Structure 1
Amino acid sequence: MVLKLSFACWDYDRMKAIEDGRVRPEGIELTFLNYRVEETFFRQLRFKEFDVSELSLSSYVLTLNQEDPPFIALPVFPSRFFRHQSIYINKNAGILSPADLKGKRIGTPEYQSLFSFSDSQDGANIFTVTAPVWQRGIMEDEFDVPIASVDWYVGAIEKSDHPRISKISHSLPPGVKVTAIKQGQNLSEMLANGEIDAIFSASRPSSLDTSPNVKRLFDNFKEVEAEYYKRTNIFPIMHVVALKRSIYETNPWVAKTLTKAFSKALDMAYEPLRERSALRYMLPWLEDHVEETQKLMGDDAKWWKDGFAENKHVIDKFLEYHYKQGLSKRRFMPEEIFAPSALETFVL
């Protein structure tokens, strides 16, 4: 008997072999639904539409605060991103180094957990952006900028973003100040005109391109991120793959089978990057980038690694940040947040 499951995920290169059927999980008929991450997250977190889906790591961990968590994760990480490059500042704010962020007004799409969308006022959505969790943690760990040393402003990055009304939780850590921006405001414009001094975000504010007042905190972000990786061995995880807990409890074998399939698809994604007879991607110096990345991050010729053992230290650091920032009700351990049967390392 074949188990039919839906899987909502963006069509990343590491998921292509799942999407096009070259990799098929044994005993599972997986229907791949190609949605951008914002749509997947909203539909899954609010309506639980999909059997398996990509989820924001922060939003997933927030669901574990519930009495009956609806999802359980696999050690599969569709999205990873160094986020030093995604911190933006107003040039006139007197920020010459990261330490100068102390006492400043910093915008971020979300801080905590509860948001009601304007067309769904009947309920709240568990939703946080993972990138600012990493950014806040790194600023405190690496540059001595505690989260309570700045004023946080939450809201839409752009005026075209779907409007949402922030519901600030009362469980913020002591001294942390979070203010929802006014309806009609957006963080990108506020940064450009000096109403806020910086933005911590996953997305790039349009004012970086349109305003002479906006720049990145780290002009040399590539060097900064490479040095961070050399020292910490952390390639920040943004998203996980999670399945409905009810499906896992009924079919515990599914977690291991899916994890094995995703591992095979990831392995296959390296082949087109190494193809040299013709360029598979529109990057004329792809070979140089691959060699540079492999030299820094790929001691076994692979730099993007799924699996629990390889990423335990990354997950542990994120869970530390999540708890210290008032997002987790308790300090979770890495082993707790994944399906037990999926924690083994697969050798293909």
Structure 2
Amino acid sequence: MDTIRMAARHWDHLNPIALRDVTGSEPYTLDRRDLTPDLWTETDLDVAETSFSRYVQARAAGDDRVIALPLFVMRGFRHRCIITRADSPLDSAEALCSKRIGLTGWGDSGNTWTRAVLREAGVGITEAEWRVGALTADHPVMDRIGSISVPANVAATENDEPMMDMLERGALDAVMTPFMPPAFYEIGSPFRPLFRDSQQAEAEYFARVGFVPGIHLIGVRAELAENPGQLQELMDLFSASKEISAARRNKLLDITPWHNEVLAATTRIFGQDWMPYGWSANALMIDAFQTELVEQGIVTSRLEASDLFPYQLEPSQPLEKVSA
């Protein structure tokens, strides 16, 4: 019996898989990474966390080596991901019209969703100056635009200067980033979120669109899809892991002294599960993401749902698992 080799970042809701608290019929390993694995180049992997944007781009280019399952293991609102200087007068998406905005990668899924926030506010791609680069000096220098055709108002940062340095000295008006720089958490930080109340902005967004944006999902090597039963088992494996993680988090993991109140408020606004798995719960979000990729010039046209997700699976019966 072959071992299924998987890799993903250190998401709390995947720990039960890594710890083998949930099991399937096939043996597996889960390699936990600091960076997102690359299923296209890491030939020793069968299953991996994958950028949603990169996956759509690959499928649009006719590359069918990877097939995604509707398992969005990374989700998040993006209003909070726009930061500015603490003394900046800017406090809305509309205020970024004609401003200088830095971001960590042009085609990234998260930044695509963040630009959607600006597009909704009337700030299109051509209505700002964009600089793409490393967030801080600790981040690796790399090509963060890639082969995507971008307009003239999009360019890499000069001399690889870290964007937080540029923001602090006034060379940028705002920066889009999925993860905050260390200085953001310091007392007296020189940075703050663009939105004065990002939670309110995000709750209003959710009320309009009905979803929390999906950023990374689970991809499988195409050869594995020759056994649809195996794909269903993967759906159920990840679903059981998320269920165990949620139960333990409610009892054992205090992320903040206000943990109970935060969880209760989250449920009141977003329901019992703000990161649902399966096709039906994500079809609306998937459609909206394709719209953004086309409107922002990341891909030239939409794909049929059956081409993008050949297996529109839903979680089924729980797998064998230990008690939470």
Which residue number in structure 1 is paired with residue 307 of structure 2? 336
CA distance in 2, matches of 1:327, 1:197: 24
1:260-279 matches, cutoff 5 A = 260-275=236-251, 279=252
- Alignment TM-score, normalising by the size of structure 1: 0.83
Which residue number in structure 1 is paired with residue 198 of structure 2? 221
CA distance in 1, matches of 2:193, 2:208: 22
Whether 1:292 aligns to 2:292 is: no
User: Secondary structure in 1 aligned to 2:201?
Assistant: helix
Q: Select the residue among 178, 186, 196 that pairs with 1:202.
A: 178
CA distance in 2, matches of 1:179, 1:207: 25
Deviations 1:19-44 (A, max 9, x none): 12122222x211111112x2x33x43
Identity within the alignment, %: 25
Unaligned runs of 5+ in 2: 319-324
CA distance in 2, matches of 1:62, 1:196: 29
Per-residue deviation, 1:199: 0.8
Paired residues of 1:134 and 1:236 also in contact (CA < 8 A):
yes
Paired residues of 1:8 and 1:35 also in contact (CA < 8 A):
yes
CA distance in 1, matches of 2:297, 2:217: 21
Which residue number in structure 1 is paired with residue 83 of structure 2? 88
1:73-112 matches, cutoff 5 A = 73-90=68-85, 95-112=90-107
CA distance in 1, matches of 2:131, 2:160: 14
Q: Are residues 19 and 178 of structure 1, via their aligned partners in 2, closer, same or farther at CA, if it must alter by over 3 Å?
A: same
Q: Select the residue among 146, 151, 156 that pairs with 2:129.
A: 151
CA distance in 2, matches of 1:73, 1:52: 9
RMSD: 2.3
Per-residue deviation, 1:280: 3.6
Deviations 1:72-96 (A, max 9, x none): 1111111111110110124666534
Per-residue deviation, 1:161: 1.1
Deviations 1:179-207 (A, max 9, x none): 11123411111111111111112121345
User: Secondary structure in 2 aligned to 1:8?
Assistant: strand
CA distance in 1, matches of 2:257, 2:284: 35
Per-residue deviation, 1:64: 1.4
Whether 1:346 aligns to 2:316 is: yes
Paired residues of 2:14 and 2:241 also in contact (CA < 8 A):
yes
1:117-136 matches, cutoff 5 A = 129-136=108-115
Which residue number in structure 2 is paired with residue 31 of structure 1? 29
Which residue number in structure 2 is paired with residue 22 of structure 1? 21
Paired residues of 1:316 and 1:333 also in contact (CA < 8 A):
no
Question: Which residue identity does 1:289 align to in structure 2?
Answer: V
User: Secondary structure in 2 aligned to 1:273?
Assistant: helix
Q: Select the residue among 212, 224, 234 that pairs with 1:247.
A: 224
Whether 1:69 aligns to 2:64 is: yes
> Is 91-100 or 223-232 further displaced after alignment?
91-100
Q: Are residues 294 and 163 of structure 1, via their aligned partners in 2, closer, same or farther at CA, if it must alter by over 3 Å?
A: same
Paired residues of 1:218 and 1:224 also in contact (CA < 8 A):
yes
Unaligned runs of 5+ in 1: 113-128
Q: How many residues align?
A: 317
